[in-house]
């Protein structure tokens, strides 16, 4: 383990280079792949290339990593996050001191650090889908470093962070025909998945009823004899039904893990047990992904993850053009606790302006996905197993996002690609979002939607006569039912109604109580609002005791005390 993290030294011994995470490919450096990327030889090759061209070398590294470079002569430390900020890094400052770490709690272990709640972050979370925007965490003065960021520190004034890559750097792509685009996507996808399978002995995936994970299944299952698929949700939901059909056709073992295991309120306590480990940055709803950990750790050494695939090659975010579009996609909640609409709209406009001319959809890639995806579908699992995300492969991502917008929209290149590459998995099995297979006509999609609405109305009408028909759940969660069960509802109320609750200073007197009252009556309030409040409160109630125990167990040592 020590050798895996030991730095590479320059020939004169004055520069050290560390690499945390994995690199899957580099056109400048031959022989780099996932299985060897944690070796000293790879770190030495990267360090040597950075001596000649640091930024060019980092831009060329296709991986999910954090890179550190210490130059003893100038006493300058530079930290680089990868293009997508895949491995969260946090920083804090106290006077001339700069602290950075892979977790907020580690930053707070530095001498002089304080753990004051960031009420602005909480207001963000209840306004925008449960997520904080930009660099905010739940602790004032501790910031999340962004994607493609270089943070440089040295003697005297800190020179600060800058971007080494921008969304406007993506090259435009104009295929001559749909078959050409499909062929190119197929070739790049094969490479993407193969590179993410390297050195995994027991690879697995989480398989939903959507398209992203099914594309991984179609490509990976024939390449990995030990491939396994896991679906979690509520029993008999659409996701489980469609995922089981796909796994059966792909001839791979399939497991289903029900959510909310243990009943009321055991599942709630289980999710709260992960709040500290995730620094309170994953709201209660998204902590459902933690319920899959026991299976994943027991059955797998690596998770090949399909999240954000629809944003990369499909229509998600594709039509984003205005501040109002950004607000809808975050999503923005303009209720009593939320930021006023005018302020929220101005903020969304600022997010678009910060892109420097890149299309407005990348505001979501910058400000939402690092919170919604890197935390819930990366940082949560990485302490236990390797997480690989083929949709972030540079060659695939660049081609997909370089296409004209109408190719991902009206022309639906995603459907053409998937139906051509994996016909058994996509021409027969519906997409959970639409209820029909990819490539279906707009008439068929509309007919399916009308049918679902009519069936729902018929069931409601019959229910008034005492006849209740069982419906297969479309969604894979049922927060409305399980969060309002007696034990969980009481536990949530006790946290949020407490007189010493941290959130009181963030909102008008009585506002949270009114929102909670409405939620308990099932009248209003998105679950993400309640989930964000619960996690924030629990995190700050337990943070002080955790930090005290951590400091007592492992005191921070001054540089003079460091081992040689």
Residue 562 has pLDDT above 60, yes or no: no
- The CA distance from 51 to 411, in Å, is 45
| Band of pLDDT at residue 461, cut at 50, 70 and 90 | low
Specify whether the CB–CB gap between 121 and 143 falls below 8 A: no
pLDDT in tens, 297-339: 999 999 999 989 999 999 999 999 999 999 999 999 988 999 9
* Sign of the CA dihedral with 257 first, then 479, 389, and 52 last: negative
pLDDT digits 0-9 by tens, 53-100: 999 999 999 999 999 999 999 899 999 999 999 999 999 977 777 888
Domain ranges of the chain: 2-168, 179-315+373-434, 479-553
Q: In sequence order, which residues have a C-beta less than 8 Å from that of residue 90 and are 6 or more positions away?
A: 100, 101, 102, 103, 104, 106, 107, 137, 142, 143, 144, 145, 279
- What average pLDDT does the segment 339-362 reach? 97
Q: What is the dihedral of CA 439, 442, 446, 449, to 10 degrees?
A: 30
Q: Is the backbone of residue 148 left (phi > 0), alpha (psi -120 to 50) or beta?
A: left
Contact 219, 245 (CB under 8 A): no
CATH C-level class of 179-315+373-434: alpha beta
pLDDT for residue 470 = 60
* pLDDT-derived band at 558, boundaries 50, 70, 90: low
Alpha helix positions (H), 163-281: 178-197, 212-220, 238-250, 266-272
Q: How confident is the model at residue 563 (pLDDT cuts 50, 70, 90)?
A: very low
For the chain, give the mean pLDDT. 91
User: How large a percentage of the chain has pLDDT more than 70?
Assistant: 91
Distances (CA, A) of 255 to 200, 240, 252, 281, 303: 19, 9, 10, 28, 14
Given a cut of 50, is residue 537 above it in pLDDT? yes
Q: Locate 276 and state its tokens.
A: 């500290």
Q: Pairing mode, if any, of strands 76-81 and 149-153?
A: antiparallel
As its CATH architecture, domain 2-168 has 4-Layer Sandwich (3.60)
Query: What's the angle, vertex CA 493, arms to CA 492 and CA 498, rounded to 5?
Result: 110
CA pair distance 183, 188, nearest whole angstrom: 9
> Distance from first CA to last CA of the chain, Å, rounded?
18
Q: Which of 94, 55, 95, 49 is nearest to 78 (CA)?
A: 55
CA–CA distance, 317 with 347 (Å, rounded to integer): 18
Tell which residue, 214, 286, 261, 207, has the closest CA to residue 239: 207
Q: What is the mean pLDDT of residues 13-21?
A: 94
Strand ranges across the sheet with 62-71: 8-9, 15-25, 62-71, 76-81, 149-153, 160-163
For residue 127, pLDDT beyond 70: yes
| Mean pLDDT confidence for 458-471 | 57
Residue entry with tokens 């295929």: 175
DSSP strands (E only) in 220-296: 228-233, 254-258
DSSP state of 101: E
Q: What is the pLDDT of residue 564?
A: 45
């Amino acid at each position: 383990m020590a050798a895996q993290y030991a730095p590479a030294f320059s020939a004169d011994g004055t520069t050290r280079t560390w690499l945390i995470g994995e690199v899957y490919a580099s056109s400048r450096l031959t022989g780099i792949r996932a299985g060897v990327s944690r070796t000293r030889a790879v770190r030495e090759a990267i360090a040597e290339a950075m001596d000649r061209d640091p930024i060019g070398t980092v831009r060329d590294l296709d991986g999910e990593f954090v890179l550190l470079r210490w130059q003893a002569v100038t006493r300058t430390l530079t930290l680089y996050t990868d293009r997508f900020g895949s491995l969260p890094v946090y920083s804090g400052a106290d006077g001339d001191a700069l602290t950075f770490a892979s977790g907020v709690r580690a930053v707070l272990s530095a001498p002089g650090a304080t753990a004051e709640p960031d009420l602005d972050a909480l207001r963000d979370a209840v306004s925008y889908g449960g997520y904080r925007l930009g660099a905010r965490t739940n602790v004032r003065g501790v910031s999340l470093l962004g994607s493609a960021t270089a943070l440089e520190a040295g003697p005297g004034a800190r020179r600060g962070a800058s971007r080494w890559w921008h969304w406007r750097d993506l090259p435009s792509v104009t295929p001559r025909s749909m078959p050409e685009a499909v062929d190119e996507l197929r070739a790049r996808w094969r490479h993407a998945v193969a590179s993410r399978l390297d050195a995994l002995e027991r690879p697995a995936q989480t398989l939903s009823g959507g398209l992203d994970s099914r594309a991984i299944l179609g490509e990976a299952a024939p390449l990995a004899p030990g491939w396994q698929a896991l679906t979690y949700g509520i029993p008999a939901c659409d996701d489980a039904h469609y995922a089981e059909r796909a796994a059966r056709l792909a001839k791979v073992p399939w497991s289903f893990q029900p959510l909310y295991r243990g009943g009321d309120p055991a599942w709630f306590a289980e999710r709260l047990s992960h709040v500290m480990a995730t620094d309170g940055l994953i709201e209660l709803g998204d902590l459902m992904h933690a319920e899959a950990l026991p299976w994943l750790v027991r059955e797998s050494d690596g998770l090949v993850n399909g999240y954000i695939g629809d944003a990369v090659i499909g229509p998600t975010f594709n039509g984003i053009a205005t501040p109002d579009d950004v607000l809808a996609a975050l999503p923005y909640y303009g209720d009593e606790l939320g930021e006023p609409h005018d302020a929220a709209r101005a903020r969304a406009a600022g997010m678009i302006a910060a892109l420097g001319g890149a299309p407005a959809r990348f505001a979501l890639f910058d400000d939402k996905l690092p919170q919604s995806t890197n935390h819930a579908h990366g940082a949560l699992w990485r302490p236990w197993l390797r997480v690989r995300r083929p949709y972030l492969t540079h060659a695939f991502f660049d081609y997909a996002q370089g296409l004209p917008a109408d190719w991902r929209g009206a022309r639906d290149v995603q459907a053409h690609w998937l139906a051509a590459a994996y016909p058994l998995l996509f021409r027969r099995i519906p997409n959970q979002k639409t209820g029909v297979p990819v490539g279906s006509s707009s008439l068929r999609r509309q007919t399916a939607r009308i049918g679902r609405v009519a069936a729902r109305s018929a069931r409601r009408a019959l229910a008034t006569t005492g006849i209740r028909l069982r419906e297969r759940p479309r969604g894979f969660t049922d927060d409305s039912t399980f969060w309002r069960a007696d034990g969980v509802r009481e536990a949530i109320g006790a946290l949020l109604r407490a007189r010493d609750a941290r959130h009181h200073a963030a909102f008008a007197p009585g506002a949270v109580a009114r929102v909670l009252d409405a939620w308990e009556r099932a009248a209003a309030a998105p679950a993400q609002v309640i989930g964000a409040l619960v996690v924030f409160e629990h995190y700050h109630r337990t943070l002080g005791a955790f930090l005290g125990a951590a400091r007592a167990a492992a005191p921070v040592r001054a540089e003079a005390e460091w081992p040689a």
